[in-house]
Amino acid sequence: MEISAERFANRASRAGFRELAVVLLGFCVSTAALMRQLAFHPGSVARIDNGDGQFSIWNVAWVAHALVVDPLHVFDANIFHPHRWTLAYSEPNLGEGALALPIYWLTHNPYAAHNFVLLSSFVMSGTATYYLVRYLTADRRAAVVAAIGFAYCPFVFGHTPHIQLEMTAGLPLALLAFHRLADRPTIGRGLALGAVVGGQTLFCAYYGVFAVLIVGYGALVLATTRRLWTTMRYWMALLVAGAMALLIAAPLYVPYALLRRQTGFSRTLKDAESFSAIWQMYFASAAYAHAWMLRLVGHRGEVLFPGFVTSLFGILGVVVGALDGRSRRREAAILYSTLAVLAYIASLGPSGGLYSVLYALIPPFTWLRAPSRLGLIVTLALSTLAGIGIAATLQKFSRPLFLSTALVVIALAELALPIRFPTVPPVEPAYRVLATLPRGPVIEMPVYSEKFAFVRAKYMLSSTAHWMPLVDAYSDYIPTDFTRKAPVLGEFPTYEAFKLLERDQVRYAVFHMDTYSPDMRRALESRLERFSPYLRQHYRDERTALYEIIAFPP
């Protein structure tokens, strides 16, 4: 009998691995089909057409670089010299950098490293959603269709420049871990849930907060529907999960706490108003199949339409769950339908009321500023409900395999969109030369005004060729002292600019000559000639000039 049980366990284990392999392969193929250009040219194309995309590529490369070279100082990013903890000025993307680490060190190509993470995010999200819906419905075919609806929803395609917003896998995975805990509360399952929530925080702080909210809400709903309020094992497992999540997220929380204490950095409710959702956004999508809706509702920023397959079967899932005599399906319908409604109201920001309550009660909300991103939770809830609706439909259909295959094709076709990634330029010769010189801080010229601070992200991306500390850079938070001295630094070389650079021991200056107007370039050339005794030219062409500051004028 023991041998038979052992053989059964081994057979089940092999079947589980085969299923996982098939699911991963399926989402790899579908991701490659929807992101063909990126999948087949990962090292030569990227979202470099805007500052956020450039920032994300630099960010992932920096973390992958620092985790090997100097892991204890990964938060001392090479921006805004001489400030420290500068990685905390925006989303640090620690998880993304760790995931990109092998590709980065194998290729030393920041674009390949970033694109590997971007493509992996779709595969991981689809796989996690598949296993969540499969657990709730026991229907693999319904799970595939539901997972496609979430993994490739218009929201994630609309945020390809923001690598942290692509890392959605932790949300369905957290819900799966929570459902497993609720079905059998143990310390081990509590640790697993905490590890998922904490890990999601390392990939995206926004989604880490979302994961805490949806798990917390789910805990209250299931405590009510299953009468678990007095079940100590349930609450103990959740307590263990919370402790584990805090332990994993601590490396992220501490730098942010230090930044807030030193600078008072936080977001106000007024900041959230301009990043709140409106109902039109829930009908906005860049997919081919949805383009006609944009003309009806007008395109207003965020794209939050979940897709027709997800929406229609999601509504059906609510009806099926409400009428189903089985308590588990009804319980799931109650949980995810109410979660969708609450997430929608919260995404409206302060005008909806609920977001203001969350802002007042939950401290991390003071670091957030985009309530509209809660629309992703609406899509996740609807995708899960769609799994219930599809499973019920397949049970009544005479040819379930045909219908499920058709739904897979329709879901993928519906979410396909025209997306092109620009070809990345070669590294400028000036940066190749800079990489061979002794280490020292660099100022890039022009500095650009506060209004056009995002343009400085291209300097950060270029720094992946040399990793020297940069004086001028871009982030969500920009140090006030840099903002004050930027107008003076922007006139370098001058006596006043030299004085500021001497204090911070800045060693190199890179001038992008082709970005200056003719009059400004003539004035710059005159200043360079005037201060030539203090500058040594290392490289120059029509586009770029590299100088070393060899002395400072008295």
pLDDT 10s digits, 170-221 = 999 999 999 999 999 999 999 999 999 999 999 999 999 999 999 999 999 9
| Position 338 in a domain | yes
Of 393, 301, 397, 383, which is closest to residue 347 (Cα–Cα)?
301
Task: Look at residue 337 and tell me whether its pLDDT is greater than 60.
Answer: yes
Average pLDDT rounded to a whole number, residues 525-542: 96
**Using CA atoms, how far apart are residues 226 and 331, in angstroms rounded to an integer?**
9
**Using CA atoms, how far apart are residues 173 and 214, in angstroms rounded to an integer?**
12
Do 316 and 453 reside in the same domain of the chain?
A: no
pLDDT at 193: 98
Q: Residue 42, preceding bond cis, omega within 30 degrees?
A: no
Of 511, 501, 521, which is closest to residue 431 (Cα–Cα)?
511
Average pLDDT rounded to a whole number, residues 268-274: 84
- Give one DSSP letter per residue of 392-424, joined into a string: HHHHH-S-HHHHHHHHHHHHHHHH------PBP
Q: Into how many domains does the chain fold?
A: 2
Identify the DSSP state of 445. Answer: E
Q: Which residue has the higher pLDDT, 424 or 294?
A: 424
**Using CA atoms, how far apart are residues 330 and 323, in angstroms rounded to an integer?**
8
Do 28 and 165 reside in the same domain of the chain?
A: yes
Average pLDDT rounded to a whole number, residues 247-276: 81
| Position 299 in a domain | yes
Do 103 and 170 reside in the same domain of the chain?
A: yes
Q: Which residue has the tokens 């693999």?
A: 140
pLDDT at 250: 87
| Position 83 in a domain | yes
Q: Residue 82, preceding bond cis, omega within 30 degrees?
A: yes
H/E element, 538: strand 535-540
pLDDT at 365: 80
Do 70 and 130 reside in the same domain of the chain?
A: yes
Supply the range of the domain harboring residue 159: 2-415
pLDDT at 363: 79
Q: Of the candidates 415, 441, 466, which is a domain's last residue?
A: 415
Residues 32-79 pLDDT 10s: 999 999 999 999 999 999 999 999 999 999 999 999 999 999 999 999
Task: Look at residue 278 and tell me whether its pLDDT is greater than 70.
Answer: yes
Do 198 and 265 reside in the same domain of the chain?
A: yes
| Position 480 in a domain | yes
| Position 422 in a domain | no
Average pLDDT rounded to a whole number, residues 119-130: 98
Q: Which residue has the tokens 């957030």?
A: 368
Q: Of the candidates 393, 415, 437, which is a domain's last residue?
A: 415
Do 288 and 365 reside in the same domain of the chain?
A: yes
Please provide the average confidence, as pLDDT, over all residues in the chain. 93
pLDDT at 1: 43
Average pLDDT rounded to a whole number, residues 92-120: 97
Of 174, 124, 178, which is closest to residue 152 (Cα–Cα)?
124
Q: Which residue has the higher pLDDT, 262 or 402?
A: 402
| Position 149 in a domain | yes
Do 473 and 383 reside in the same domain of the chain?
A: no
pLDDT band at 326 (very low <50, low <70, confident <90, very high): low
| Position 554 in a domain | no
Contact of 141 with 394, CB cutoff 8 Å: yes
| Position 129 in a domain | yes
Query: Which strand ranges, in their side-by-side order, compose the sheet holding 535-540?
Result: 442-445, 508-512, 544-549, 535-540
Do 407 and 273 reside in the same domain of the chain?
A: yes
| Weakest mean pLDDT among 254-263, 304-313, 519-528 | 254-263
Do 438 and 309 reside in the same domain of the chain?
A: no
Do 82 and 19 reside in the same domain of the chain?
A: yes
Q: Of the candidates 360, 388, 415, which is a domain's last residue?
A: 415
The 10 Å CB-count burial string (b at 16+, else e) for 447-481 is bbeeeebebbbbbbbbbbbbbbbbbbbbbeebbee
Contact of 168 with 214, CB cutoff 8 Å: no
Average pLDDT rounded to a whole number, residues 459-473: 97
Q: Which residues contact 331 (CB under 8 A, 6 or more apart)?
A: 221, 222, 225, 226
Do 363 and 456 reside in the same domain of the chain?
A: no
Do 397 and 482 reside in the same domain of the chain?
A: no
